[in-house]
Amino acid sequence: MRILLVDDDEALMETLAESLIHQRYAVDMAADGETAQEFIALFAYDLIVLDILLPDVGGIALCQQLRQQGINCPILMLSAKDDSSHKVKALDAGADDYVVKPFDFSELCARIRALLRRDSPSAATVLEWGELTLDPNTFEVAYGDHQIHTTPKEYALLELFLRHPTRVFSLDAIIENLWSFEDPPGGDAVRTHIKGLRQKLKAGGAAKDLIETVYGLGYRLKPLESPAPLPHRPEAQPANSQEPEPTAAALAAAVTKAWESHQDTMEERLRVLEATAAALDGGDLGMDLRRDGRAQAHKLAGSLGCFGFSEGSRLARELEHLLQLDAPFEDQQVTQVSSLVERLRQNLEGGSRAPVEVAIAAVPQLLVVGAEAAFVQDLVTAAPEGMQVVAVADPVQALDHVRGPTAVLLWLAGADPESMVTTGRLADAISRRPAQVTVLLVTDSQDFHQRLQWVQQGVDRLLPPTASAAHVIEVVQQTLQVGQVAAKVVILDDDPQVLGLLRTILRPWGFQLTTLDDPTRLWSTLAAVQPDLLVLDVEMPEENGLELCQVLRADDRWRPLPILFLSVHEDASTQQQAFNLGADDFITKAAMATELPQRILNRLRRSQG
């Protein structure tokens, strides 16, 4: 668990941090409100300890601001003021507890543990996964009857996996959760900790792969129950298969849950529009309410489209357009605003939300067509943990499998002319897929025109029949280099609900995400994160995404950075303007759930290739 300490008393905070680190927490320290905000933009904290008096901002005001930004983790206020009025103000601002200085460190740590238990029901219970148990109260780990003695970091690793037993953690995600910002280790150091933990678990009787590697993504606990083996089918022999996670159904359910959690926010935005329409109808619409109404219409246009309300998004865009006009409203426009708001209310309450299809991250898969059983077995042996090998004997049957693989190996050594033609059709079908699939062809044919035709039909590599299984796997691995290290993606959008949905959609793909809803903090975040790709919203209250892109392209530091626009705007002129200013891609928010993950991967491959 990660804790942020915000206090300008350096000696006091270092002492508290040392105590918390000893209890297996990851701790960051900020001496002022601005630094605290930068940390909060970068990391998701489980608890914040906040002094009431900071050099640049009042702690109570900062607490209130954090709550307004949607920061829901427990906040414990520290203060030398013991009067009840300050306590009431702090608690009313959103604080969960209030401790007066000077305090007893053991009592303060106990209060922190109590807040974490209250915020996370599983924090106080013994964590279990099969025969593996971890007690957060005593810091004891056991496998069956065997006690496992761990180092503090090994314990923290195991606790992280047990609290999220089905989640895949990249190396960067592990570092983010378990190490402080000032002292992050390298990837090799994390691998060493995982290796040591695996050895200790194995010595205690656990399987050597209890902590398993998910190729190209990271690490997780091995599922307790493996899927039942598929019936034997000579034409399709799955080897070292692994169920993709999460499933499309699980992600769709997560999107539905996200919509349900944001309904109150959508209702508040709609009420602002209703108040705007009422004031306009009464002839007393002020500039502040008009500006607020326009902002809420803009956010609804984006977020409703993301959650499947295409008609609601269209109505909100019309409202945004009407409210941004500088001229006085005509009678017809007043009536139009009232009608649009009423129809928007009916659309949201009428349950017209369409299911949102979410693209899922698939386990790397190699489809082998036409190879002999002995060579297929060599591929299975050479394949790294987490890669799936599926063999089929007939190219025609392979057409039923081309939707899933990451790479396809076509074996044509000594094949007849008819098989060559069929294989060409298969390569062409694969090349037409929107997702990138590498096609490898093993052939002894030296006919130039035939080899040219295969390449034109989509074959990426031509290999001789003497190619070893290890070499084939090496070529496949080269196509997955983007996934081997979690790509760092910064997303800037002024709508917290859209950012929340983006986190739900993108995290299963192994990206290291940093989300921002404040454009003024973009530059400091870029410097701190050094991202591989930036996603920008077009319209935001204080900064225009198009203008930000223009400045980025003029800055030598960020000129090569891939920039992808995500916007509610669907008109060709806005998209053309974005590309003219240096955008690499442009996606509408209505299509982001199905298209955004693969668009990011494709852009990363092009920029890194």
CATH code, domain carrying 460: 3.40.50.2300
Q: Is 602:587 a contact under the CB 8 Å cutoff?
A: no
Is residue 117 domain-shared with residue 131, that is, in the same domain?
A: no
Is residue 107 domain-shared with residue 132, that is, in the same domain?
A: no
Q: Per the domain annotation, does 543 fall within a domain?
A: yes
Task: Please give the pLDDT value at position 289.
Answer: 85
In terms of DSSP bridges, do strands 438-442 and 461-463 run parallel, antiparallel, or are they unpaired?
Answer: parallel
- Alpha helix (H) residue ranges in 436-571: 448-456, 469-478, 481-484, 496-506, 522-529, 545-554
At which residue do the structure tokens 């899933």 appear? 404
CATH code, domain carrying 172: 1.10.10.10
Q: Per the domain annotation, does 210 fall within a domain?
A: yes
Q: What's the Cα-to-Cα distance from 276 to each of 19, 269, 311, 598, rounded to whole Å?
A: 52, 11, 21, 40
Is residue 519 domain-shared with residue 475, that is, in the same domain?
A: no
Q: Per the domain annotation, does 251 fall within a domain?
A: no
Is residue 587 domain-shared with residue 570, that is, in the same domain?
A: yes
Is residue 272 domain-shared with residue 209, that is, in the same domain?
A: no
Q: What is the DSSP letter of 521?
A: G
Task: Classify burial at 475, counting beta carbons within 10 Å of its beta carbon; exposed 0-12, middle 13-18, buried 19 or more.
Answer: middle
Is residue 181 domain-shared with residue 117, that is, in the same domain?
A: no
Q: Is 517:494 a contact under the CB 8 Å cutoff?
A: yes
Q: Per the domain annotation, does 341 fall within a domain?
A: yes
Q: List CB contacts of 558: < 8 A, sequence separation 6 or more.
A: 526, 552
Is residue 439 domain-shared with residue 500, that is, in the same domain?
A: no
Task: Please give the pLDDT value at position 552.
Answer: 93
Q: List CB contacts of 283: < 8 A, sequence separation 6 or more.
A: none
Is residue 563 domain-shared with residue 526, that is, in the same domain?
A: yes
Is residue 488 domain-shared with residue 587, that is, in the same domain?
A: yes
Q: Per the domain annotation, does 235 fall within a domain?
A: no
Q: Per the domain annotation, does 358 fall within a domain?
A: no
Distance CA 338, CA 273 (A): 9
First to last CA, the chain: 37
CATH code, domain carrying 282: 1.20.120
229 preceded by cis ω (within 30°)? no
3-state secondary structure 72-106: CCCEEEEECCCCHHHHHHHHHCCCCEEEECCCCHH
Number of structural domains the chain divides into: 5
In this structure, how many other beta carbons lie within 10 angstroms of the beta carbon of residue 411? 24
Is residue 467 domain-shared with residue 373, that is, in the same domain?
A: yes
Is residue 87 domain-shared with residue 9, that is, in the same domain?
A: yes
The residue among 171, 192, 221 that closes a domain is: 221
At which residue do the structure tokens 């209702």 appear? 267
Q: Per the domain annotation, does 159 fall within a domain?
A: yes
Task: Please give the pLDDT value at position 561.
Answer: 92
The residue among 121, 154, 185 that closes a domain is: 121
3-state secondary structure 19-59: HHHHCCCEEEEECCHHHHHHHHHHCCCCEEEEECECCCCEH
In terms of DSSP bridges, do strands 237-239 and 388-392 run parallel, antiparallel, or are they unpaired?
Answer: antiparallel
pLDDT along the chain (609 residues), means of 10: 88 84 82 89 86 91 89 89 82 88 82 75 69 84 89 86 82 78 75 89 87 75 55 36 46 66 79 89 84 82 74 85 79 89 85 57 71 87 75 65 64 67 69 66 84 81 87 75 65 86 77 87 90 90 84 90 86 84 85 78 69
Q: Is 367:405 a contact under the CB 8 Å cutoff?
A: yes
Q: Per the domain annotation, does 322 fall within a domain?
A: yes
Report angle CA 594, 597, 603 to the nearest 5 degrees. 125
Is residue 491 domain-shared with residue 589, that is, in the same domain?
A: yes
Domain that holds residue 32: 2-121
The pair of three-digit structure tokens given for residue 257, joined into one six-digit string: 């849950």
